[in-house]
Chain A
Amino acid sequence: MKRSVEERNWLEQRNVIVCRCEDVTLEEIRRAIAQGATTLDELKRLLRVGMGPCQGRTCRELLARELAEHLGKPVAEIMPPTFRPPAKPVKLGLLSRMVENAPRGDEGSSLEGGESR
């Protein structure tokens, strides 16, 4: 896998931040890989990379290349991370007012005197 000179120079700065949302540096990523992390999900579990507001849009590619280089595999063989709903952040207040058309209401709760908002 080939990297451009610019990219290589940039990556050589060890404390360069790879995941901007969660403030994770290249050095931290390399340390986790050295300890045995082999997948994007494992990096996510250890470092929170890709779990911030951008959900990995910025760092996913960089992380995959870093893993591929270390494992000597093509980038295409690196498993993509798991994606979790919702696609966009939604306020709890809005969710609680979602329209009633599901099978279960909240009368099953034993909270006495509680009024649903």
Chain B
Amino acid sequence: MRSTADAVIIGGGVIGSSIAYHLAKEGVRNVVLLERHSFCTGSTGRCGAGVREQWGSERNCRLAQASINAFEHLEEELGYEGDIEFKQKGYLILAHTEKEWEQFKKNVALQNSLGIPSRLLTPQEAKEIVPILNTEGMLGATYNKRDGHCNPFHTTWAYAQAARRLGVELQYFTEATGIRLEGGRVVAVDTTRGTISTPVVINAAGPWAKPVAKMVGIDLPVYTQRHQILATEPTGPIIDPMVMSFSMGIYCQQTPHGSVIMGMGDPNEPKGYDIGSSWEFLREMSRLILRILPALESLRVVRQWSGLYTVTPDAHPILGGVPGIEGYYQAVGFSGHGFMLAPAVGRIISELVVGKTPFIDITGLDLGRFERGELQVEPSVV
């Protein structure tokens, strides 16, 4: 392992891997990426893989929009021989309550003003997109054809391999155990394989962002929470878009492989690091999904698992540096939607590290917003 670097990244999920690639692309090539396990062991490898720009806040919309632009050409950009399986078959977001419907009208107006081609649909129009949809009790839906999903393993691997080719050292099975500061500056990172002298360290530790931030004395306002998910056996094409309901707290998509993946947010789930699987989830999930997609009844569940959301009080990530700690940057607190933001976030963080103005304005996504009390909560989350 290198003993001196220009930057050290803590975390080998999609965020750390995207940052590694973008830093190298900016010319910062003497970079070490530290990952305690192997790639995609954290949230990334457990996620629902959905990618959407249908958000309720301008900042989330812009980050997602720029990321979708990048996903569209990612294989070429990264010189990846494999397939990241990016499919733009849209997101269909269902409204069952008046409150949702009112919010969706606002969301679509905002999205359209930013150039996002989302639309409000009647239940009948929604059924044309997903013929097996049960529209009973539905007030309407929103749909955006640019949304879709992408394979998180291949995306992360593609970023990591491209970074490696540009000179980044990928150190898997290596844990960061401490960050050394001198006079308010980062000087080194301690790891289970020795110390690396570096002026820059980037916290991309996903659910472990809080303990990593503690290493420089920051108490991050984030908590972690289990989210469960399942996959069925593969079947022929039956659902094109991701189907989602915020009031039911569920989402469901069919992967290019043919299996149907679905997950649920449980409001009663305690905070913490539990990533076990429960049969209650299987029951609740199947009941909820069969109300909107009853035709899935005879599909068999072959796998269930869970992963952690790292949640901030306003469901927006915390990006960038922190005043008073020179050389420390963070890209954390993605609140359940970090996979889809990885392309834009990787670029933004690397631009900040080299002293450029980020290509997307990230005002208000800094850590200081929580103290200033300037929170605009994202309404559209599961």
Judge whether A102 is part of the interface by a CB distance below 8 angstroms: yes
- A45 touching B153, Cβ below 8 Å: yes
The reply to whether the CB of B356 lies closer than 8 angstroms to some CB of chain A is no
A45-B40, A45-B45, A93-B297 as given contacts; A35 in contact with B290, CB under 8 Å: no
Instruction: Answer yes or no: A66 CB below 8 A from chain B CBs.
Output: no
With contacts A48-B257, A92-B301 taken as known, whether A112 is within 8 angstroms of B288 at the C-beta atoms is no
- B residues 10-50 near A (Cβ < 8 Å) are 38-41, 45
Contact of B247 with A53 in the complex, beta carbons under 8 Å: no
**A72 interface residue, CB < 8 Å from B?**
no
Query: Given A104-B280, A109-B288, A110-B248: A91 and B298 within 8 A (CB)?
Result: yes
Bound-state CA distance A115–B137 (Å) is 11
Q: With A39-B38, A102-B280 in contact, do A92 and B248 touch (Cβ < 8 Å)? A: no
Q: Are A114 and B137 in contact (CB under 8 A)?
A: yes
**A61-94: which residues lie under 8 A (CB-CB) from chain B?**
84-86, 89-93
Interface assignment of A106: CB less than 8 Å from any CB of chain B: yes
Q: State the majority secondary structure of interface residues on B.
A: mixed
- A89 and B233 contact, CB distance less than 8 A: yes
Q: In the bound complex, how far is the Cα of B157 from the Cα of A35, in angstroms?
A: 10
Report the Cα distance A117→B296, complex, angstroms. Answer: 13
| Cβ B97 vs Cβ A46 within 8 A | no
Q: Is A5 in contact with chain B by the CB < 8 A criterion? A: no
Q: Which residues of A contact B279 (CB under 8 A)?
A: 98, 102
On whether the beta carbons of A114 and B233 are closer than 8 Å, the reply is no
Q: Contacts A89-B233, A110-B248; is A95 near B286 (CB within 8 Å)?
A: yes
Query: Which residues of A pack against B, CB within 8 Å?
Result: 35-36, 38-39, 41-42, 45-46, 48, 51, 53, 84-86, 89-93, 95-96, 98, 102-104, 106, 108-117
Provide a sorted-by-A list of 11 A–B residue pairs whose CB atoms are within 8 angstroms: A36-B161, A46-B153, A51-B303, A85-B277, A85-B304, A91-B297, A91-B298, A92-B297, A95-B283, A104-B268, A104-B280
Closest 8 CB pairs of A and B: A89-B300, A93-B297, A96-B286, A95-B286, A45-B153, A110-B247, A84-B303, A92-B286
